[in-house]
Each structure stands twice: as structure tokens, then as C-alpha cells.
Amino acid sequence: MTVMGRKRVTLSRFIIGGYLAVLSVPTGAQAAPDLTAANARLTALLDKNYPALEALYKDLHQHPELGMQEVRTAGILAQHLRKAGFTVTEKVGGTGVVGILKNGEGPTILVRADMDALPMEEKTGLAWSSKARATYEGKDVPVMHACGHDTHVAYLVGVAQALSAMRDSWSGTVVLIGQPAEEPLVGARAMLDDGLFTRFPKPDFGFAAHVSNLPAGVVAIKAGAGSSASDSYSITFHGRGGHGSMPAATIDPIPIAARFVTDTQVVISREKDPAAFGVLTIGAINAGSAPNIIPDSAEVKVNLRSQSPEVRKLLQDGTARVAKSAAAMGKAPEPTIRYLSGTGVLTNDEVMANAAVAALTPVFGKGLVFAPASAAPMSGSEDYSEFVDAGVPSLFFGIGGYDPAVLADLKAKGEPAPTNHSPFFAPKAEPAIRNAVTAIVLSIVGGVRPAAK
């Protein structure tokens, strides 16, 4: 029996559920920079540059690549960054790209876009739909940009072009990165382990953005915790295989795995504070082949989501304890517990969040949606948190990508809007790319930064 796992939820409906529920147009914005002139200049630049950015997005959408296989994407990104005047290094942490632009005195600023796609078949019906295939965990699979990372690479190029053209409006050093493998939550770590903050200038602070199915025009800012921690494990229960008619001569790993699957939920229902967020999902069970064979082993894949270090530890320890106990009850040896991947909570710097709200509200008007630190973060995860945890306070924007008319039409039909990772996910590229470029570039020009240390 195989149940495919790795269900990743990103922004989208969690922002709708969370962010819009606490929507407030912030008041009392003080000392916000006047970005009217910079915005007019940027808008004119984007009017000129956007057609090429859209062509880039469509090309990447038709040629999606899985995490750590982003060779073509990285090459194209590197070319564009060089053309915009950046000094580019490729193959950082596998397929990662680093582009640096030095522009006088000032802070070092990180801007990140993730580049990878997902192992799934596209069903959007877009004229530029993907027919690509690739090898994923040894299997031939279709590949689709179902999380919008194609628009992210395009916005990074847009940011590079704009910062280069508007050098007289900001000063400092910009480090742009094309990050591999966000979906399996390993790419940020790989870039850090390959010396991202030692071989290159270490950023003082950073920005990133993610497109979702929020209405186009929305730019969401969440202060404090913005996403959940995620931890994925493979747990292999070891038995002793044999004939299905002679169970007494075997150690059957299947009932052990089955017991684990149900018992481990007790960690959530009985051990965790009911008011604290925590999710435990079994995304895959792999064991056996024929009805009359008791297999040697059974593998279970577990994903944990939490929003505090205490709950994260409770779920990690509880899962391991229940797994060992289930094996002991089945007279089996200790299971093999292997950590697959994970990342911590992505925390947005509150000073940066407030400063960005003040600076960008006049630019985006009602589209600027703010959620305070007290609002719940989304249940999805983001490995951008690795950069924050490595000492780069940051602001991660949520960017609406769905045409409001399309959303209204779906609502009238009683159908939900496709979320990130849906085979139907098809955000509108232009507002997504332009608004991400605008939010990031104007934050940099407007001096959005954390409190001085």
C-alpha cells in the first residue's frame, strides 16, 4: 500500500483564513517616507520591463524543475542578474545562485526567490502549461510550477533590474539569491552550509515574497510568527517476514505500523495543550506486496507542524516514544527513525513589518493587508526561516495572485479557489510579479529595516 505524502500547504487560504480575518488598515503611520516619486519611476520602469518578465515567467512555467535539479532555471536567472549589473556566483548549495550589487555605503540586504517546482501533473489548461517530466525519488513524474516559484524568479529579476536602474535612490549592498529546493525544505540550509554568509557579505536584513490565491492587488504583511515549523521523519518498523499462514513464526511489522498510526495521534489529543497549534500527519505507509506474505519491514512517513519550540519538542519526542513503544509491544526491535527534512517557524521582524506598512500603505492602498503578531500564523512552512535563524531579520510578503473576477465567479459556483499545490493553481502573473517587485524595491528605497542593534 502506498499513500503519497509530502503535502505542503503554503500561504493562500491560510492567509485568507488568518490574515483577512484580522484585516486592519493600520493607522497612525508616522514618519513614513514619501515614496510617490520612487513609485512613479518604478512603475514606468516596470511598464518597460514587464513584457520580458512575463515571457520569462511563461518560459519557466513551461520548463519547471524539481528541487536541486534547477539547472536550466538557475542558468537563466544568472544570465539576467549579470545583465542587470550583478556579480554572479552559481552552484551555491547545489543549484543556488547568488548575485551581488555594491552601491556605496550602507546595509547589506538579502532578497530571496525560490526556484523549484513540484512532482505533479498540471491541469490548469493554460496555453503555456507544463508537459515536463523528471525523476523524483527514483520515479518518472510530471513536473509543475504549482506553487508560483516561476513568478518568484521573475520578480527577482525585476528587483535586480529596478535596483540597478535606481542606484541613486538607495545605497548599500544587495545580495539576491535564487534558492533551490524550498519545497523539500532543504535548499536554504544547503546554501548556508555552502558558505552563503561567509563566502559572500552577510546580510543585515532581508526580504522575500510568495504568491498565493489571495485576490490580485493584495500585499499581506504579518508581524511576528508567519508560518509553522515543519519536521518530516521516515520511521521503519523492523519485523521478521514469513508465510501469511504462519504468523507465529514471524514478527509482523504491519500491525505495529498500524498501531503507531493511530496511537501517535494521542500526542496531539492528550499531551499537547489544546489551545496550542500542532499537527501530526502520516503522509505515507509503505509495506508488503502480496496478501500471503508477511513483510520484513514497514515504513511510515510522518510530518509534524508546530508554532512554538515547546510544542515542536513535544511532538518530536512523543512521535519517537510512541514508535518505540509500538515496536516493543510487537516484540520487534527498535524502529529506525530517520529525520528527512524540516525547518523552524518563519518570524517576521516586527519593526520591519510596521515600517513596511507605513511606507507601502500609500502605494497599495486597501490592498495592503496587515496582521499583527498576535494573529495566528499559517500552518504551512517556509525554509526562508533558516536565513532568519542564521541572524538575518526579515520581512516575508504574501502576494495576491488571483483575478478578483475569477475568485467571484468560483464563489458564485460554490467552488473553492485553487490553492498553492493544486494542479489547477494558476495565479495571474502580472499583478503578482509587479506587486512583489514594488513591495521589495520600495521597502529598500524607503529604508525599511530592523531596529539598530
Active site residue 65: no
Q: Compute the least distance from the CB of residue 360 to Zn ion, in Å.
A: 22
Residue 10 or 161: the one with the smaller Cβ distance to Zn ion is: 10
User: Coil, strand, or helix at residue 117?
Assistant: strand
Nearer Cβ to Zn ion (10/316): 10
Q: Taking the complex as a whole, how short is the minimal distance between the CB of residue 223 and Zn ion, in angstroms?
A: 21
Comparing CA positions, the residue from 358, 354, 356, 387 lying closest to residue 373 is: 354
Report the residue from 10, 169, 361, 443 that binds Zn ion according to the rule CB under 5 A.
10
Q: Which of 183, 299, 382, 383 is catalytic?
A: 183
CA atoms lying within 13 Å on the CB side of residue 192: 17
Residue 348 contacts residue 221 (beta carbons within 8 Å): yes
- In what helix (H) or strand (E) does residue 299 lie, and over which residues does it extend? strand 297-306
Three cell numbers, residue 240 = 521478521
Work out how close the CB of 155 gets to Zn ion at its nearest, in angstroms, rounded to a whole number: 13
Question: Site mask, Zn ion, residues 145-184, x = CB under 5 A?
Answer: --x-------------------------------------
Interface mask toward Zn ion for 64-103; x: CB under 5 A: ----------------------------------------
Rounded to 5 degrees, φ, ψ at 408 are -65, -40
Min separation Cβ 49 and Zn ion, Å: 24
Q: Which is nearer to Zn ion, 8 or 80 (CB)?
A: 8
CB 189 within 8 A of CB 179: no
Burial of 65 (0-12, 13-18, 19+ CB in 10 A): buried
Contacts of 184 (CB under 8 A, 6+ apart): 6, 67, 341
Question: Which is closer to Zn ion, CB of 63 or CB of 149?
Answer: 149
**Segments in 198-347 forming alpha helices (H):** 253-263, 265-266, 309-329
CB of 212: closest distance to Zn ion in angstroms? 9
Separation between Cα atoms, residue 64 and residue 69, nearest integer Å = 10
Q: Does residue 271 carry a catalytic annotation?
A: no
| Residue 213 binding Zn ion, by CB under 5 A | no
- Closer CB to Zn ion, residue 8 or residue 305? 8
**C-alpha cell at position 352:** 520591519
Tell me how many residues contact Zn ion (CB under 5 A). Answer: 3
Return the C-alpha cell found at 433. 510579479
Q: Which one of 65, 70, 114, 122 is the catalytic residue?
A: 114
Rounded to whole angstroms, how far apart are CA atoms 444 and 206?
9
Binding mask 113-152 for Zn ion (x = CB under 5 A): ----------------------------------x-----
Closest residue to bound Zn ion by CB:
147
User: What is the C-alpha end-to-end distance of the chain, expressed in Å?
Assistant: 54
- What are the catalytic residues? 114, 183
Where on the chain is the footprint of Zn ion (CB under 5 A)?
A: 8, 10, 147
